[in-house]
Each structure stands twice: as structure tokens, then as C-alpha cells.
Amino acid sequence: MEFRYHNPTRLTFGEGTFGQVGELTAPLGSRAMLVTGRSAMEKAGYLQKAKDLLEDAGMAVTVFNKIPPNPTLDAVMEGRELAQAEGCDVMVGLGGGSAMDAAKAIAVAASHDCDMREFLLPDENGEKRLPSEATLPVVAVTSTAGTSSELTPFAVISLTDTHEKPAMAGPNLFPRIAIQDPELTYTMPAHVTAATGVDVFCHAAEGYISTVATPLTAHTALKAIELVAECLPKAVAAGAHLEARRGMMLANTFAGYTLSQAGGNVMHALEHPMGGHYPDIAHGAGLAAIIVAWGEQMWERAPERFATVARIFGVEDPDDRSAAAQVGGVLKEFLTAVGMEVTLSDLGIEQEMLGTLADDALRYMLGGVRKTPGETTREDLMGLLRASY
């Protein structure tokens, strides 16, 4: 047996750790760019608090609060211009995955004099350019549980002109510091809690049922799935359920360690094109729409692992194949329980777009498709999409 594991991000976890953002960031630079979304962190008071904490630590702070829910290359380039003009030498991403991904991408854009698309889209040899060690340091403070962007070497950026939603990746995209403070999720609306929780499940489940899974990623993936099954319904039903909020943040942690090593596979490969063509679709909702079909159509490729997932969600059948065959049904029940049982039609995706989504997955998300057990063809992708419509 041989496998590798590399995650250099320093994690700070726990209630109240948000208050450490200044002291943790200050050793990395003197001029911070605080990257966040358009309103959520400001309305919650966390934007001003983060600015104050950074300034109290002796740093100059430039706020860039123009990140849309699906961060675009245009927003990244605007952030690059501001960062360079202000001499920013460290990025602080505050918010959900969009803010943290944007902070990573701006850290690359501000330090590399080239076309950013080289980092996002494969060349004729199927390779992407990797961000170099010149990439500015990033501190990632998550407000959701979540996308796990604070623990991964990926930044998903949308290209509005071509309707693509690719990712840049590489070891230099790992944040230097990750802050996971469950208190930031206490006021998160139920629908956001559910959607981000679905994302946690998919990171873990795809990492567990992956051609590049290792004993270490399997362990963290299963722990994340167990926590999601136990805690997400409670967090959605009662936002003030602090134990459930803490459990979901911990699930996000375990899923992040899985994702950082294994990446996503077929579900994320199909959802990214959805977000590229329909930027108003929440990432978790796009994933939720295909989870049941994924379970129903993929279980025979890894019956023992799908059986384990099914049993976490309540299946008691001792026979692996029989248990695995029930995974789609129990996942459907789970999605219904957290208000995330949706179809592609519900999300406003036209049926004639299904072929385009499959083609896009094979074109710029092929790496994820190939991490799915078994040979996954265009017709397999179309089967998943049709069953999810």
C-alpha cells in the first residue's frame, strides 16, 4: 500500500476563534485585503469586526466586498487591481466558499502576470498552469459549514463569457490559516444551512467512493457523513441548536480534509456546468438534485462502500448489495427531511440543456469524472441528468 497526504493549512477550530483573526494574520503581512460577499457578513457585523481585529493587530486593511455567490473572473480581476494599487500582501477571505475561493484567486492574480484562464482551463495537453510560490498568503474564515474551501487547494471561478465554472488548483492555493468558528453559523438561515450541509455530504461521499480514496480519506469521509446524518436535520430544524451547529462545522472539517486529497468526482463534475450556465443556482441545490440518481445508478460500482453509506442513514440490511441498492431511497428521505429534495426542472434547467451539461463535464471537469469508480461515459452522465430532471 502506498499513498500520500499533504495539507499544510494551520487550522484553528472552536467557538470564539474568529476573535483571533488579527493575531493569526499579522505575521503573514502588513497590508490585508479583506475579501467578502456583498452583504451577509456586513449585515451580521462580522465584516466590521474583522476589520477592527486586523487593524488592532497593526495591519492596514482594504475591504473588497463585491464577490457574487458564484465568484467570477471579472470580480477577481477587479480585486487584483485594487490589491496591487493598495500594496496588499495577504488575503483574508471572510464568508462562504465564494469569498474564500475569490480570496485565493485574487492571491494568485495579484502575484502572477499572465492570463488567469491558464490556471482555470486545461490546455491542448489537458494540463492547467499551477499557481507558483509567489501566490500571496491567504487566511480563510468560514461563515458556513460549508464548502471546506478553507482547507483545500482549489478555487472555483466562473467565466461569464463562456458560461464555464472551472477551478484553479495547486499546493500553493492552500490557505496558510483556516478559522472555523461555529458561532458564525448560528444565524445562518435554514435553507443556507441545508444547502451547505448537502455540499459537505457530497465532498465526503464522493471522496469515500473515489478511485483515489485512501485509508486516511476514507476515515475522515465516513466521520463527516456520520456527522451530517446526525446533525444536519437538527441544525436545519433549530438554528440555535448549538451542538448541531458545532457538529456540522466538524463535519465540514473532516470533509475538507477528504476533499483536499481526493477532490470531487461525478456529482461535482455535473454541478459545475450547472452553475456556469445558471449562476443563480446554489451549489448545494445543484448537488442535491442529482444525489438520489447518483445513489441509484452508481451503487453497483462500489457496493460495499455504498452499503456503508446506506447504513449510516438507517439501512439495517446485513447484505452489502441489498443495502447498497437502498441508498438512493434513504438519501431521498434525508433530502426531504432537510428541505432539499429538488429536481433539475425545479432549479429552472431546461431539458434541452442536459447534453450541454454532460459535454461540459467531460470537457473541463474530466478529472472529476475519471475519479468515479468504473468507466463513466457521456451516456452515463446523461442517464444521471435525465433521472434527476
Instruction: Dump the DSSP string for 218-281.
Output: HHHHHHHHHHHHHHHHHHHH-TT-HHHHHHHHHHHHHHHHHHHHH---HHHHHHHHHHHH-TTS
How many separate domains does the chain show? 2
- Asked if residue 329 has pLDDT above 90, the reply is yes
| Residues 40-92: tens digit of each pLDDT | 999 999 999 999 999 999 999 999 999 999 999 999 999 999 999 999 999 99
Residue 241 and residue 173 share a domain: no
- Asked if residue 315 has pLDDT above 90, the reply is yes
Residue 74 and residue 159 share a domain: yes
Q: How far apart are CA 126 and CA 165, in angstroms?
A: 16
Distance from chain centroid for Cα 48? 25
pLDDT at 306: 98
| Average confidence (pLDDT) over 145-153 | 96
pLDDT at 167: 95
| Average confidence (pLDDT) over 292-308 | 98
pLDDT at 125: 86
pLDDT at 80: 98
pLDDT, the chain, mean: 97
- Asked if residue 146 has pLDDT above 90, the reply is no
pLDDT at 216: 97
Percent of the chain with pLDDT over 90: 97
Residue 284 and residue 254 share a domain: yes
In whole angstroms, how large is the CA radius of gyration of the chain? Answer: 20
pLDDT at 139: 98
Residue 172 and residue 82 share a domain: yes
Its domain, for residue 241, covers 190-387
pLDDT at 319: 98
| Average confidence (pLDDT) over 324-334 | 98
pLDDT at 345: 98
Which CATH number goes with the domain that contains 300?
1.20.1090.10
Does 3 reside within a domain? no
| Average confidence (pLDDT) over 324-328 | 98
Which CATH number goes with the domain that contains 37?
3.40.50.1970
Contacting residues for 158 by C-beta, under 8 A, at least 6 apart: 70, 71, 72, 73, 164, 165, 275, 276, 279
pLDDT band of 230, cuts 50, 70, 90: very high
pLDDT band of 374, cuts 50, 70, 90: very high
pLDDT at 294: 98
pLDDT at 213: 97
Does 28 reside within a domain? yes
* Of 128, 162, 185, the domain-final residue: 185
Residue 156 and residue 109 share a domain: yes
pLDDT at 142: 98
| Average confidence (pLDDT) over 121-135 | 92
pLDDT at 1: 82
Residue 255 and residue 364 share a domain: yes
pLDDT at 176: 98
